[in-house]
Structure 1
Amino acid sequence: MTGFELFWILFLVLAMQPFLRQKFLEIARQKMIERIEAIRGSRVILLVHRQETMSFLGFPIMRFIDINDSEEVIRAIHMTDKDVPIDIILHTPGGLVLAALQIALAIKKHPAKVTAFVPHYAMSGGTLIALACDEIVMDEHAVLGPVDPQIEGYPAASILRLTKRKPLDKIEDKTLILADVAEMALRQMKENLKLILNERYPAEKIEELAEVLSQGYFTHDHPITFEEAKRLGLPVSQELPLEIYQLMKLFPQPTRSIPSVEYLPLPKKKIGKP
Protein backbone atom coordinates (compact mmCIF):
# COMPACT_ATOMS: atom_id res chain seq x y z
CA MET A 1 0.00 0.00 0.00
CA THR A 2 1.42 3.35 -1.05
CA GLY A 3 1.50 6.45 1.14
CA PHE A 4 -1.05 8.10 -1.16
CA GLU A 5 -3.53 5.22 -0.74
CA LEU A 6 -3.02 5.24 3.04
CA PHE A 7 -3.70 8.99 3.09
CA TRP A 8 -7.06 8.56 1.32
CA ILE A 9 -8.08 5.69 3.60
CA LEU A 10 -7.34 7.81 6.66
CA PHE A 11 -9.18 10.73 5.10
CA LEU A 12 -12.30 8.63 4.46
CA VAL A 13 -12.21 7.23 8.01
CA LEU A 14 -12.03 10.75 9.45
CA ALA A 15 -14.76 11.96 7.10
CA MET A 16 -17.09 9.16 8.22
CA GLN A 17 -16.57 9.72 11.93
CA PRO A 18 -19.27 12.41 12.41
CA PHE A 19 -21.78 10.33 10.42
CA LEU A 20 -21.04 7.14 12.38
CA ARG A 21 -21.10 8.99 15.72
CA GLN A 22 -24.52 10.41 14.84
CA LYS A 23 -25.85 6.97 13.85
CA PHE A 24 -24.63 5.41 17.09
CA LEU A 25 -26.36 8.18 19.06
CA GLU A 26 -29.61 7.62 17.15
CA ILE A 27 -29.51 3.88 17.86
CA ALA A 28 -28.83 4.53 21.56
CA ARG A 29 -31.75 6.98 21.71
CA GLN A 30 -34.12 4.50 20.11
CA LYS A 31 -33.13 1.82 22.61
CA MET A 32 -33.67 4.19 25.54
CA ILE A 33 -37.06 5.27 24.16
CA GLU A 34 -38.07 1.62 23.88
CA ARG A 35 -36.97 1.07 27.48
CA ILE A 36 -39.01 4.02 28.81
CA GLU A 37 -42.06 2.93 26.81
CA ALA A 38 -41.79 -0.59 28.22
CA ILE A 39 -41.51 0.71 31.79
CA ARG A 40 -44.38 3.21 31.55
CA GLY A 41 -46.59 1.49 28.97
CA SER A 42 -46.77 4.70 26.97
CA ARG A 43 -45.86 6.35 23.70
CA VAL A 44 -42.71 8.45 24.21
CA ILE A 45 -42.25 11.54 22.03
CA LEU A 46 -39.14 13.69 22.23
CA LEU A 47 -39.13 17.39 21.41
CA VAL A 48 -35.51 18.25 22.10
CA HIS A 49 -33.67 21.24 20.68
CA ARG A 50 -29.95 21.32 21.29
CA GLN A 51 -26.91 22.11 19.22
CA GLU A 52 -25.39 19.09 17.54
CA THR A 53 -22.37 18.81 15.27
CA MET A 54 -24.05 17.53 12.13
CA SER A 55 -21.42 17.91 9.42
CA PHE A 56 -17.81 17.07 8.68
CA LEU A 57 -16.85 20.71 9.17
CA GLY A 58 -18.46 20.61 12.61
CA PHE A 59 -20.74 23.64 12.41
CA PRO A 60 -23.35 23.61 15.23
CA ILE A 61 -26.98 24.12 14.25
CA MET A 62 -29.39 25.97 16.56
CA ARG A 63 -32.90 24.53 16.53
CA PHE A 64 -36.35 25.59 17.72
CA ILE A 65 -39.98 24.47 17.39
CA ASP A 66 -41.00 24.67 13.73
CA ILE A 67 -43.65 23.31 11.39
CA ASN A 68 -41.66 20.14 10.76
CA ASP A 69 -41.78 19.44 14.51
CA SER A 70 -45.54 19.91 14.66
CA GLU A 71 -46.02 17.59 11.68
CA GLU A 72 -43.89 14.86 13.27
CA VAL A 73 -45.48 15.13 16.73
CA ILE A 74 -49.01 15.11 15.31
CA ARG A 75 -48.10 12.11 13.16
CA ALA A 76 -46.86 10.28 16.27
CA ILE A 77 -50.09 11.12 18.12
CA HIS A 78 -52.17 9.82 15.21
CA MET A 79 -50.21 6.56 15.33
CA THR A 80 -51.02 6.12 19.03
CA ASP A 81 -54.19 4.31 20.15
CA LYS A 82 -56.64 6.49 22.06
CA ASP A 83 -56.23 4.47 25.25
CA VAL A 84 -52.39 4.61 25.22
CA PRO A 85 -50.83 7.34 27.42
CA ILE A 86 -48.34 9.74 25.87
CA ASP A 87 -45.13 10.96 27.50
CA ILE A 88 -43.65 14.00 25.76
CA ILE A 89 -40.13 15.03 26.78
CA LEU A 90 -39.58 18.76 26.33
CA HIS A 91 -36.21 20.47 26.12
CA THR A 92 -36.66 23.60 24.03
CA PRO A 93 -36.29 27.39 24.00
CA GLY A 94 -39.60 27.68 22.13
CA GLY A 95 -40.20 28.63 18.53
CA LEU A 96 -43.07 29.30 16.14
CA VAL A 97 -46.39 29.96 17.87
CA LEU A 98 -48.31 28.20 15.11
CA ALA A 99 -46.28 24.99 15.43
CA ALA A 100 -46.40 24.98 19.25
CA LEU A 101 -50.15 25.65 19.23
CA GLN A 102 -50.79 22.80 16.77
CA ILE A 103 -48.91 20.40 19.02
CA ALA A 104 -50.71 21.67 22.14
CA LEU A 105 -54.16 21.28 20.60
CA ALA A 106 -53.35 17.77 19.33
CA ILE A 107 -52.16 16.78 22.81
CA LYS A 108 -55.28 18.23 24.42
CA LYS A 109 -57.51 16.09 22.18
CA HIS A 110 -55.74 12.81 23.02
CA PRO A 111 -58.16 10.86 25.28
CA ALA A 112 -55.54 9.05 27.38
CA LYS A 113 -53.27 10.78 29.90
CA VAL A 114 -50.51 12.97 28.50
CA THR A 115 -47.50 13.76 30.68
CA ALA A 116 -44.87 16.41 29.93
CA PHE A 117 -41.38 15.73 31.26
CA VAL A 118 -39.10 18.77 31.62
CA PRO A 119 -35.58 17.71 32.64
CA HIS A 120 -34.01 21.16 32.16
CA TYR A 121 -36.17 23.81 30.50
CA ALA A 122 -39.21 24.27 28.26
CA MET A 123 -39.65 27.95 27.51
CA SER A 124 -42.25 29.90 25.50
CA GLY A 125 -43.76 27.45 22.99
CA GLY A 126 -42.42 24.57 25.09
CA THR A 127 -44.45 25.87 28.04
CA LEU A 128 -47.52 26.19 25.81
CA ILE A 129 -47.21 22.49 24.97
CA ALA A 130 -46.64 21.54 28.62
CA LEU A 131 -49.79 23.43 29.66
CA ALA A 132 -51.86 21.21 27.34
CA CYS A 133 -50.73 18.08 29.23
CA ASP A 134 -52.49 16.47 32.17
CA GLU A 135 -49.33 16.52 34.27
CA ILE A 136 -45.98 18.33 34.12
CA VAL A 137 -43.06 16.46 35.70
CA MET A 138 -40.08 18.75 36.29
CA ASP A 139 -36.60 18.35 37.66
CA GLU A 140 -36.30 20.38 40.85
CA HIS A 141 -34.07 22.84 38.98
CA ALA A 142 -36.00 22.85 35.68
CA VAL A 143 -37.94 25.91 34.52
CA LEU A 144 -40.87 26.87 32.33
CA GLY A 145 -41.47 30.34 30.87
CA PRO A 146 -44.12 32.90 29.92
CA VAL A 147 -45.95 32.50 26.60
CA ASP A 148 -46.32 36.21 25.75
CA PRO A 149 -46.03 36.87 21.98
CA GLN A 150 -43.00 38.61 20.47
CA ILE A 151 -43.24 40.94 17.47
CA GLU A 152 -40.04 41.36 15.43
CA GLY A 153 -38.02 40.51 18.53
CA TYR A 154 -39.90 42.88 20.85
CA PRO A 155 -42.46 41.90 23.50
CA ALA A 156 -45.93 42.65 22.19
CA ALA A 157 -46.98 44.04 25.60
CA SER A 158 -44.04 46.47 25.61
CA ILE A 159 -44.92 47.79 22.15
CA LEU A 160 -48.45 48.50 23.32
CA ARG A 161 -47.23 50.19 26.50
CA LEU A 162 -45.04 52.45 24.39
CA THR A 163 -48.06 53.83 22.50
CA LYS A 164 -49.65 54.80 25.81
CA ARG A 165 -46.55 56.64 27.05
CA LYS A 166 -45.83 58.79 23.99
CA PRO A 167 -48.09 61.11 22.00
CA LEU A 168 -49.26 59.47 18.78
CA ASP A 169 -47.73 62.24 16.65
CA LYS A 170 -44.34 61.34 18.10
CA ILE A 171 -44.57 57.67 17.12
CA GLU A 172 -43.47 56.36 13.74
CA ASP A 173 -46.02 54.70 11.45
CA LYS A 174 -44.14 51.40 11.59
CA THR A 175 -44.32 51.38 15.40
CA LEU A 176 -48.07 52.04 15.25
CA ILE A 177 -48.46 49.14 12.82
CA LEU A 178 -46.45 46.92 15.17
CA ALA A 179 -48.67 48.06 18.05
CA ASP A 180 -51.76 47.05 16.10
CA VAL A 181 -50.27 43.63 15.40
CA ALA A 182 -49.16 43.35 19.03
CA GLU A 183 -52.71 44.01 20.26
CA MET A 184 -54.05 41.24 18.03
CA ALA A 185 -51.25 38.86 19.03
CA LEU A 186 -51.88 39.38 22.75
CA ARG A 187 -55.61 38.84 22.35
CA GLN A 188 -55.10 35.73 20.22
CA MET A 189 -52.55 34.22 22.60
CA LYS A 190 -54.81 34.74 25.60
CA GLU A 191 -57.76 33.11 23.81
CA ASN A 192 -55.59 30.21 22.63
CA LEU A 193 -54.28 29.69 26.15
CA LYS A 194 -57.83 29.68 27.55
CA LEU A 195 -58.76 27.08 24.93
CA ILE A 196 -55.83 24.87 25.95
CA LEU A 197 -56.56 25.24 29.67
CA ASN A 198 -60.31 24.71 29.25
CA GLU A 199 -61.81 21.79 31.24
CA ARG A 200 -58.61 21.47 33.30
CA TYR A 201 -59.28 24.35 35.72
CA PRO A 202 -62.21 26.44 37.04
CA ALA A 203 -63.15 29.40 34.84
CA GLU A 204 -61.61 31.95 37.25
CA LYS A 205 -58.32 30.06 37.34
CA ILE A 206 -58.22 29.80 33.55
CA GLU A 207 -58.68 33.55 33.25
CA GLU A 208 -55.94 34.17 35.83
CA LEU A 209 -53.40 31.86 34.21
CA ALA A 210 -54.12 33.11 30.69
CA GLU A 211 -53.67 36.70 31.85
CA VAL A 212 -50.49 36.18 33.87
CA LEU A 213 -48.69 33.90 31.41
CA SER A 214 -49.53 35.63 28.13
CA GLN A 215 -49.97 39.36 28.72
CA GLY A 216 -46.42 40.51 29.43
CA TYR A 217 -46.20 40.49 33.23
CA PHE A 218 -42.66 39.07 33.01
CA THR A 219 -39.73 39.26 30.62
CA HIS A 220 -39.92 36.55 27.97
CA ASP A 221 -36.98 34.65 29.50
CA HIS A 222 -38.36 34.79 33.05
CA PRO A 223 -37.78 31.35 34.64
CA ILE A 224 -40.91 29.83 36.17
CA THR A 225 -39.43 27.41 38.69
CA PHE A 226 -41.15 24.37 40.12
CA GLU A 227 -42.11 26.33 43.25
CA GLU A 228 -43.57 29.20 41.20
CA ALA A 229 -45.43 26.80 38.91
CA LYS A 230 -46.94 25.16 41.97
CA ARG A 231 -47.99 28.56 43.37
CA LEU A 232 -49.68 29.31 40.05
CA GLY A 233 -51.67 26.09 40.45
CA LEU A 234 -50.11 24.15 37.57
CA PRO A 235 -50.22 20.30 37.80
CA VAL A 236 -46.51 19.86 38.47
CA SER A 237 -44.54 17.14 40.25
CA GLN A 238 -40.85 16.30 40.68
CA GLU A 239 -40.79 12.53 40.14
CA LEU A 240 -38.63 12.60 37.01
CA PRO A 241 -37.52 9.06 36.02
CA LEU A 242 -33.78 8.34 35.95
CA GLU A 243 -34.10 7.03 32.38
CA ILE A 244 -34.99 10.51 31.11
CA TYR A 245 -31.74 11.94 32.47
CA GLN A 246 -29.91 9.09 30.76
CA LEU A 247 -31.76 9.85 27.53
CA MET A 248 -30.77 13.53 27.66
CA LYS A 249 -27.10 12.51 27.84
CA LEU A 250 -27.54 11.17 24.30
CA PHE A 251 -28.13 14.72 23.01
CA PRO A 252 -24.61 16.13 23.37
CA GLN A 253 -23.60 19.69 22.63
CA PRO A 254 -20.73 20.25 20.17
CA THR A 255 -17.36 19.32 21.64
CA ARG A 256 -15.28 22.34 22.60
CA SER A 257 -11.50 22.43 22.72
CA ILE A 258 -11.75 23.76 26.29
CA PRO A 259 -14.89 22.63 28.16
CA SER A 260 -16.78 25.29 30.11
CA VAL A 261 -17.86 22.79 32.80
CA GLU A 262 -15.68 20.02 34.23
CA TYR A 263 -16.16 17.50 37.04
CA LEU A 264 -15.44 13.85 37.80
CA PRO A 265 -18.50 11.99 36.42
CA LEU A 266 -18.95 9.80 39.50
CA PRO A 267 -21.40 9.94 42.44
CA LYS A 268 -19.86 11.83 45.35
CA LYS A 269 -20.60 10.71 48.89
CA LYS A 270 -19.41 12.10 52.19
CA ILE A 271 -16.46 10.21 53.60
CA GLY A 272 -16.89 9.35 57.25
CA LYS A 273 -14.27 10.22 59.82
CA PRO A 274 -11.79 7.40 60.66
Structure 2
Amino acid sequence: MNRAILVTTLVTSSALIGAGYLLRSRPRARALPSSIIPIVTPVIDVRVAEDVLGVMEQLRGDEVTLLLHTVGGCVTSCVMIANALREFERSTAIVPYMALSGGTLLALNARQLQMGRSASLSAVDPIVSGQRARHLLDDEPPNGIAALAREYEVAMARYVRDTLTARLPGASEAALERAMGVFMGEHAPHEWPVRRPEVEALGLPVGPSARSWAEMVDAYRKRWW
Protein backbone atom coordinates (compact mmCIF):
# COMPACT_ATOMS: atom_id res chain seq x y z
CA MET A 1 0.00 0.00 0.00
CA ASN A 2 1.49 3.37 -0.98
CA ARG A 3 1.89 6.37 1.31
CA ALA A 4 -0.92 8.38 -0.29
CA ILE A 5 -3.40 5.65 0.49
CA LEU A 6 -2.05 5.24 4.01
CA VAL A 7 -2.53 8.93 4.77
CA THR A 8 -6.19 8.72 3.85
CA THR A 9 -6.81 5.57 5.89
CA LEU A 10 -9.23 6.02 8.78
CA VAL A 11 -7.39 6.85 12.00
CA THR A 12 -8.66 4.59 14.78
CA SER A 13 -7.69 3.66 18.31
CA SER A 14 -8.22 0.01 17.45
CA ALA A 15 -7.04 -2.09 14.55
CA LEU A 16 -10.32 -3.99 14.42
CA ILE A 17 -12.95 -3.17 11.81
CA GLY A 18 -16.74 -3.30 11.90
CA ALA A 19 -19.38 -2.38 14.42
CA GLY A 20 -22.30 -3.97 16.21
CA TYR A 21 -23.71 -0.98 18.03
CA LEU A 22 -26.64 -1.92 20.18
CA LEU A 23 -28.12 1.29 21.55
CA ARG A 24 -31.17 1.02 19.31
CA SER A 25 -31.99 -2.56 20.26
CA ARG A 26 -31.89 -3.16 23.98
CA PRO A 27 -32.81 -6.60 25.35
CA ARG A 28 -36.56 -6.55 25.85
CA ALA A 29 -36.39 -8.51 29.08
CA ARG A 30 -34.77 -5.61 30.84
CA ALA A 31 -35.96 -2.07 30.24
CA LEU A 32 -33.29 0.52 30.95
CA PRO A 33 -33.73 4.06 32.22
CA SER A 34 -32.97 6.58 29.49
CA SER A 35 -29.95 7.82 31.45
CA ILE A 36 -28.20 4.45 31.00
CA ILE A 37 -26.54 4.26 27.60
CA PRO A 38 -25.07 0.90 26.54
CA ILE A 39 -22.08 1.11 24.23
CA VAL A 40 -21.69 -2.59 23.56
CA THR A 41 -19.90 -2.76 20.24
CA PRO A 42 -16.60 -3.96 18.80
CA VAL A 43 -15.83 -0.51 17.37
CA ILE A 44 -17.00 3.00 18.28
CA ASP A 45 -17.38 4.73 14.92
CA VAL A 46 -18.98 7.97 13.78
CA ARG A 47 -22.43 6.40 13.67
CA VAL A 48 -22.08 5.28 17.27
CA ALA A 49 -20.98 8.77 18.28
CA GLU A 50 -23.97 10.33 16.52
CA ASP A 51 -26.38 8.03 18.35
CA VAL A 52 -24.77 8.46 21.77
CA LEU A 53 -24.55 12.23 21.44
CA GLY A 54 -28.19 12.33 20.35
CA VAL A 55 -29.30 10.40 23.43
CA MET A 56 -27.14 12.54 25.72
CA GLU A 57 -28.57 15.71 24.25
CA GLN A 58 -32.11 14.56 25.05
CA LEU A 59 -31.42 13.59 28.66
CA ARG A 60 -33.08 15.69 31.31
CA GLY A 61 -30.97 16.37 34.35
CA ASP A 62 -27.25 16.00 34.95
CA GLU A 63 -26.90 12.24 35.33
CA VAL A 64 -25.72 9.64 32.81
CA THR A 65 -24.31 6.13 32.96
CA LEU A 66 -22.33 4.47 30.17
CA LEU A 67 -22.24 0.67 30.07
CA LEU A 68 -19.07 -0.11 28.12
CA HIS A 69 -17.98 -3.24 26.29
CA THR A 70 -15.70 -2.35 23.37
CA VAL A 71 -12.18 -2.56 21.99
CA GLY A 72 -12.16 1.11 20.98
CA GLY A 73 -12.68 2.94 17.72
CA CYS A 74 -12.32 6.19 15.83
CA VAL A 75 -10.33 8.76 17.82
CA THR A 76 -12.61 11.64 16.88
CA SER A 77 -15.76 9.70 17.76
CA CYS A 78 -14.41 8.69 21.17
CA VAL A 79 -13.24 12.20 22.01
CA MET A 80 -16.62 13.68 21.06
CA ILE A 81 -18.42 11.27 23.40
CA ALA A 82 -15.85 11.94 26.15
CA ASN A 83 -16.36 15.68 25.75
CA ALA A 84 -20.12 15.26 26.12
CA LEU A 85 -19.60 13.06 29.18
CA ARG A 86 -17.58 15.83 30.84
CA GLU A 87 -20.64 18.09 30.75
CA PHE A 88 -22.60 15.92 33.20
CA GLU A 89 -22.34 16.60 36.92
CA ARG A 90 -23.03 12.95 37.72
CA SER A 91 -21.53 10.48 35.27
CA THR A 92 -20.63 6.83 35.72
CA ALA A 93 -18.77 4.42 33.46
CA ILE A 94 -19.34 0.71 34.09
CA VAL A 95 -16.92 -1.83 32.63
CA PRO A 96 -17.99 -5.41 33.37
CA TYR A 97 -15.40 -6.97 31.05
CA MET A 98 -13.44 -4.60 28.84
CA ALA A 99 -13.26 -1.04 27.62
CA LEU A 100 -10.06 -0.89 25.64
CA SER A 101 -8.38 1.98 23.81
CA GLY A 102 -11.10 4.54 23.02
CA GLY A 103 -13.35 2.75 25.48
CA THR A 104 -10.79 3.51 28.19
CA LEU A 105 -10.88 7.16 27.19
CA LEU A 106 -14.62 7.19 27.86
CA ALA A 107 -14.22 5.33 31.16
CA LEU A 108 -11.60 7.79 32.41
CA ASN A 109 -13.77 10.81 31.62
CA ALA A 110 -16.67 9.65 33.78
CA ARG A 111 -16.70 11.05 37.30
CA GLN A 112 -17.22 7.55 38.69
CA LEU A 113 -15.75 4.30 37.38
CA GLN A 114 -16.86 0.76 38.18
CA MET A 115 -15.04 -2.34 36.92
CA GLY A 116 -15.79 -6.04 37.10
CA ARG A 117 -13.36 -8.30 38.91
CA SER A 118 -11.84 -9.47 35.61
CA ALA A 119 -12.36 -6.22 33.70
CA SER A 120 -9.62 -4.43 31.81
CA LEU A 121 -8.83 -1.00 30.46
CA SER A 122 -5.81 -0.29 28.23
CA ALA A 123 -3.64 2.44 26.79
CA VAL A 124 -5.33 5.08 24.65
CA ASP A 125 -2.44 6.29 22.48
CA PRO A 126 -3.67 6.68 18.89
CA ILE A 127 -3.27 4.13 16.11
CA VAL A 128 -2.68 5.56 12.64
CA SER A 129 -3.08 3.28 9.62
CA GLY A 130 -2.75 0.19 11.79
CA GLN A 131 0.38 1.32 13.65
CA ARG A 132 0.94 3.13 16.92
CA ALA A 133 1.44 6.80 16.15
CA ARG A 134 4.70 6.87 18.13
CA HIS A 135 6.19 4.23 15.84
CA LEU A 136 5.64 6.47 12.83
CA LEU A 137 7.11 9.68 14.25
CA ASP A 138 10.70 8.99 13.23
CA ASP A 139 10.02 7.92 9.67
CA GLU A 140 12.71 9.16 7.32
CA PRO A 141 12.47 11.01 5.08
CA PRO A 142 9.65 13.10 6.61
CA ASN A 143 6.31 12.26 5.03
CA GLY A 144 2.61 12.91 5.38
CA ILE A 145 1.81 9.90 7.54
CA ALA A 146 4.50 10.83 10.09
CA ALA A 147 3.14 14.37 10.33
CA LEU A 148 -0.37 13.02 10.85
CA ALA A 149 0.90 10.63 13.51
CA ARG A 150 2.60 13.46 15.37
CA GLU A 151 -0.58 15.55 15.36
CA TYR A 152 -2.60 12.70 16.85
CA GLU A 153 0.05 11.76 19.41
CA VAL A 154 0.41 15.34 20.67
CA ALA A 155 -3.34 15.95 20.75
CA MET A 156 -4.09 12.71 22.61
CA ALA A 157 -1.31 13.24 25.16
CA ARG A 158 -2.72 16.69 25.90
CA TYR A 159 -6.25 15.30 26.20
CA VAL A 160 -5.22 12.44 28.49
CA ARG A 161 -3.25 14.78 30.75
CA ASP A 162 -6.29 17.04 31.04
CA THR A 163 -8.47 14.01 31.84
CA LEU A 164 -6.12 12.64 34.49
CA THR A 165 -5.59 16.05 36.08
CA ALA A 166 -9.36 16.22 36.61
CA ARG A 167 -9.52 12.66 37.97
CA LEU A 168 -6.47 13.05 40.25
CA PRO A 169 -7.03 16.41 41.96
CA GLY A 170 -4.08 17.40 44.09
CA ALA A 171 -1.88 14.62 42.73
CA SER A 172 1.85 15.22 42.52
CA GLU A 173 3.51 15.60 39.15
CA ALA A 174 5.17 12.21 39.69
CA ALA A 175 1.79 10.55 40.26
CA LEU A 176 0.37 12.23 37.20
CA GLU A 177 3.33 11.09 35.10
CA ARG A 178 2.88 7.49 36.29
CA ALA A 179 -0.74 7.53 35.19
CA MET A 180 0.22 9.15 31.88
CA GLY A 181 2.79 6.42 31.30
CA VAL A 182 0.17 3.70 31.78
CA PHE A 183 -2.59 5.23 29.68
CA MET A 184 -0.30 6.46 26.92
CA GLY A 185 1.17 2.95 26.81
CA GLU A 186 4.80 3.93 27.30
CA HIS A 187 5.90 0.53 28.59
CA ALA A 188 3.40 -1.95 27.18
CA PRO A 189 1.59 -2.81 23.94
CA HIS A 190 -1.39 -0.66 23.04
CA GLU A 191 -4.07 -3.14 24.12
CA TRP A 192 -2.20 -4.60 27.10
CA PRO A 193 -4.81 -5.14 29.88
CA VAL A 194 -4.87 -2.66 32.77
CA ARG A 195 -6.75 -4.33 35.63
CA ARG A 196 -8.65 -2.71 38.48
CA PRO A 197 -5.84 -3.11 41.07
CA GLU A 198 -3.50 -1.24 38.72
CA VAL A 199 -6.06 1.54 38.27
CA GLU A 200 -6.43 1.78 42.04
CA ALA A 201 -2.66 1.86 42.49
CA LEU A 202 -2.52 4.95 40.28
CA GLY A 203 -4.83 6.72 42.74
CA LEU A 204 -7.83 6.80 40.44
CA PRO A 205 -11.17 6.23 42.19
CA VAL A 206 -12.66 2.94 41.00
CA GLY A 207 -15.17 0.57 42.55
CA PRO A 208 -16.53 -2.90 41.76
CA SER A 209 -19.40 -3.30 39.31
CA ALA A 210 -22.39 -5.45 40.15
CA ARG A 211 -22.76 -8.82 38.42
CA SER A 212 -26.05 -7.64 36.94
CA TRP A 213 -24.13 -5.33 34.59
CA ALA A 214 -22.13 -8.25 33.21
CA GLU A 215 -25.36 -10.17 32.69
CA MET A 216 -26.73 -7.23 30.73
CA VAL A 217 -23.68 -7.20 28.47
CA ASP A 218 -24.01 -10.97 28.06
CA ALA A 219 -27.59 -10.50 26.88
CA TYR A 220 -26.44 -8.12 24.15
CA ARG A 221 -23.58 -10.35 23.09
CA LYS A 222 -25.75 -13.47 22.79
CA ARG A 223 -28.11 -11.66 20.45
CA TRP A 224 -25.69 -9.77 18.29
CA TRP A 225 -22.07 -10.94 18.50
**Residue type of the alignment partner of 1:234:** L
**Residue type of the alignment partner of 1:67:** V
Q: Which residue does the alignment assign to 2:152?
A: 185
Give the counterpart of 2:51 among 72, 79, 83: 72
CA apart distance, 1:88: 0.7
Contact 1:33–1:44 (CA under 8 A) maintained in structure 2: no
Any idea what SS the aligned residue of 2:118 has?
Answer: coil
Q: Which residue does the alignment assign to 1:43?
A: 35
Task: Note closer, same or farther for the CA distance 1:155–1:216 as it changes in structure 2 (3 Å cut).
Answer: farther
Contact 2:73–2:102 (CA under 8 A) maintained in structure 1: yes
CA apart distance, 1:77: 1.4
Separation in structure 1 between the aligned mates of residue 117 and residue 129 of structure 2, nearest angstrom:
33
Root-mean-square deviation (CA, aligned residues, Å) is 2.6
CA apart distance, 1:207: 5.0
Matched, 1:199 2:166: yes
Task: Note closer, same or farther for the CA distance 1:153–1:216 as it changes in structure 2 (3 Å cut).
Answer: farther
Separation in structure 2 between the aligned mates of residue 197 and residue 82 of structure 1, nearest angstrom:
25
Contact 2:167–2:204 (CA under 8 A) maintained in structure 1: no
Separation in structure 1 between the aligned mates of residue 158 and residue 92 of structure 2, nearest angstrom:
23
Q: Which residue does the alignment assign to 2:198?
A: 228
Task: Note closer, same or farther for the CA distance 1:87–1:31 as it changes in structure 2 (3 Å cut).
Answer: farther
Contact 2:95–2:119 (CA under 8 A) maintained in structure 1: yes
Separation in structure 2 between the aligned mates of residue 246 and residue 67 of structure 1, nearest angstrom:
27
Q: Which residue does the alignment assign to 1:140?
A: 117
User: Larger radius of gyration, structure 1 or 2?
Assistant: 1
CA apart distance, 1:130: 0.4
Contact 2:116–2:210 (CA under 8 A) maintained in structure 1: no
- Relative to the length of structure 2, the TM-score reads 0.78
**Residue type of the alignment partner of 1:231:** A
Give the gaps of 5 or more residues in structure 1. 1-25, 50-62, 164-170, 256-274
**Residue type of the alignment partner of 1:187:** V
Contact 1:48–1:90 (CA under 8 A) maintained in structure 2: yes
Q: Which has the higher contact order (CA 8 A, sep 6+)?
A: 2
Any idea what SS the aligned residue of 1:122 has?
Answer: coil
Matched, 1:243 2:207: no
Separation in structure 2 between the aligned mates of residue 184 and residue 212 of structure 1, nearest angstrom:
20
Matched, 1:102 2:80: yes
1:65-115 CA distances to partner (integer Å, 9 max, x unpaired)?
0111111111111121234x211100000000000000001001112x111
**Residue type of the alignment partner of 1:153:** G
Any idea what SS the aligned residue of 1:252 has?
Answer: helix
1:229-256 CA distances to partner (integer Å, 9 max, x unpaired)?
1112222111x2232122122123589x
**Residue type of the alignment partner of 2:36:** V
Give the counterpart of 1:213 among 179, 183, 188: 183
Separation in structure 1 between the aligned mates of residue 28 and residue 51 of structure 2, nearest angstrom:
16
**Residue type of the alignment partner of 2:162:** L
Separation in structure 2 between the aligned mates of residue 198 and residue 133 of structure 1, nearest angstrom:
13
- Relative to the length of structure 1, the TM-score reads 0.65
Contact 1:226–1:236 (CA under 8 A) maintained in structure 2: yes
Separation in structure 2 between the aligned mates of residue 110 and residue 211 of structure 1, nearest angstrom:
27
Higher helix share goes to which structure?
Answer: 1
Separation in structure 1 between the aligned mates of residue 64 and residue 223 of structure 2, nearest angstrom:
30
1:132-152 CA distances to partner (integer Å, 9 max, x unpaired)?
001111111110010011121
Q: Which residue does the alignment assign to 1:32?
A: 30
